[in-house]
Amino acid sequence: MPEVRVVNVAKKFDKILAVDNVSLQIHDKEYFCLLGPSGCGKTTLLRLIAGLVEPDKGEIYIENRLVNSVPPEDRGIGFVFQQYALFPHMNVWDNVTYGPRVKALGKKASKDIGREMLEMVKLFERLDAFPSELSGGMMQRVALARALAAGSKLLLLDEPLGALDAKIRNELRYELRKFAKDLELTGIHVTHDQAEAMAISDRIAVMRKGKILQIGTPQELYMNPQHIFVAHFIGESNFLEGYISKRTEKELTIELRGGLFVSTSDKTHKEGDKVVIAIRPEVLTVEKGEKRRTNSIFGQVEGFRFEGTNVRCQIRLENGDSVLIVRPALMTEWFNIGEKVTVSFPAEKSFVFSYPEKGLKRELALE
């Protein structure tokens, strides 16, 4: 049975449609991410599930119970806020045991739960400290312990790592997932950081302008994006514009700018359609000199950067388009700026999308 079900939910603030007819199912014990740029509606959707905001239309079910008119305190959720919202007038212990106390679980039970949660997040020795005395990472862990101590099976996290510096963020992201899995919770985690979402999620919903564009596992989203924005937002992509010049049963030939032709294995578009090909930087290969290869284009090196594990190579193609190639440093030749090269890619490892009505730049914009 799905833990959370959202059915055709919409929410408007003044003239802005924050959530636009969204439907999704989150399974029991799943760690699910709502991912998207700022203003896409992911936090609003989370707050709708939490009951902090009421939907204008649609239904929200938690464990098969319709909760539209159920207040937050009765939905059985734990919520971790972006700025933690630790009660400034209570110390760590009082913050963490607040949930058990207001639910009248009893002194002993509250004490036991508080101790267990603080030991789990390794902050038991700071139980007398006030929030103003804690670092960002510590506050985040206290906020998590507080949400977990309430005893709920559904954990909602609103950009819980957003206020932390990069190193702590990287360390704590795995801890969040581990806690949720160890306690067999269902987790819904909101983030704008695609690397974070990819690292810890069972499934991800990519949102933009109030809509869900695609739901899938990290691998599905990365390897098979169904929307041009998903191809852009998850990982990196090169985008080349062109027209379908010929289609056969097995492949599609696309004419790019400058009369260049490439092949892909797309099956959805027809001759004459204006399209955009998305190609991952790590899928492109580059060789020195101008060589005839399948699905190849000539170009010139514009930039070459060593980044430790990888090298990043910017190539200006002969038709004026620019592509980025990322290859393992140990396995790649090194190039000089201005050097002539040949760029190629396997037809089956590209994605073809219809050209966006409002233009490519606008479609890929993050806001």
Partner 1 sequence: MAHSGITKFLDSASSKSSVRYALYLGSITFFFALILIPPILGIVLKWNSMAETLRDPSLMSRATAAIYASFAIAIFVSVIDVVAGLPTAWLVARGRSRWLNVLDTFVDIPFIVPTATLGYSLLLFWSKPEGISSLFGGSLVSPGWLLVILLHFAFSYPVVVRVMVGAILDYKREYEEAARTLGAPPLTTDRTVTLPILKPSLIASFTLAFARSVSETGATLMVAGAFENGPIFIKNARDLGYEGPLVFVSFILIVISCAIFATIRLLGSRLKMPLRNVWPVAERKLSSSSVTAVRNSLSLFVFLLLVLIPSLFVALPAFLAMTNGTINQAVRGVGVWQGYWQSLILSYSVGFVVTMLNTLAGLPMAVLIARKRVRTTLSSILDVLVNIPLIVPSIALGTSLSIFWKSVAFIPEIGLLTFAHLSITYPYFVRSMAAAIERVNVDYDNAARTLGGRPFTVFRTIILPLTKYSLFAGAIMVFTRSVDETGATLAVVTQLRTAPVLLVEWVKGTVQATPLDIGLGCAILVLLSFIILLVSRLLVRGRY
Q: Name the residues that contact partner 1, by CB under 8 A.
A: 50, 52, 71-74, 77-79, 81, 83, 85-90, 94, 98-99, 101-104, 146-147, 150, 156
Task: Provide, rounded to whole angstroms, the least separation between the CB of residue 70 and partner 1.
Answer: 12
Nearer to partner 1, 146 or 169 (CB): 146
Task: Provide, rounded to whole angstroms, the least separation between the CB of residue 52 and partner 1.
Answer: 5
Nearer to partner 1, 73 or 348 (CB): 73
Nearer to partner 1, 103 or 267 (CB): 103
Instruction: Specify the long-range contacts of residues 332-337, CB closer than 8 Å, at least 24 apart.
Output: 333/287, 333/288, 334/304, 335/286, 335/288, 335/301, 335/304, 336/301, 336/304, 337/301, 337/302, 337/303, 337/304
* ∠ Cα 180 182 188 (to 5°): 15
How crowded is residue 199: how many other Cβ atoms within 10 Å of its Cβ? Answer: 14
Nearer to partner 1, 42 or 280 (CB): 42
Task: Provide, rounded to whole angstroms, the least separation between the CB of residue 34 and partner 1.
Answer: 17
**Strand, helix or coil at 133?**
helix
Task: Provide, rounded to whole angstroms, the least separation between the CB of residue 191 and partner 1.
Answer: 18
Angle between helices 136-149 and 166-182 (to 10 degrees): 20
Task: Provide, rounded to whole angstroms, the least separation between the CB of residue 241 and partner 1.
Answer: 45
Cα 51 to Cα 33: distance, rounded to the nearest angstrom: 18
What's the one-letter identity of residue 54? E
Task: Provide, rounded to whole angstroms, the least separation between the CB of residue 83 and partner 1.
Answer: 6
Nearer to partner 1, 158 or 266 (CB): 158
Residues 55 and 44: beta-carbon distance below 8 Å = no
DSSP string, 277-328: EEE-TTT-EEEES----TTEEEEEEEEEEE-SSEEEEEEEETTS-EEEEEEE
Nearer to partner 1, 94 or 282 (CB): 94
Nearer to partner 1, 77 or 215 (CB): 77
Cα 332 to Cα 286: distance, rounded to the nearest angstrom: 9
Task: Provide, rounded to whole angstroms, the least separation between the CB of residue 88 and partner 1.
Answer: 7
Most distant CA pair in the chain: distance in Å?
77
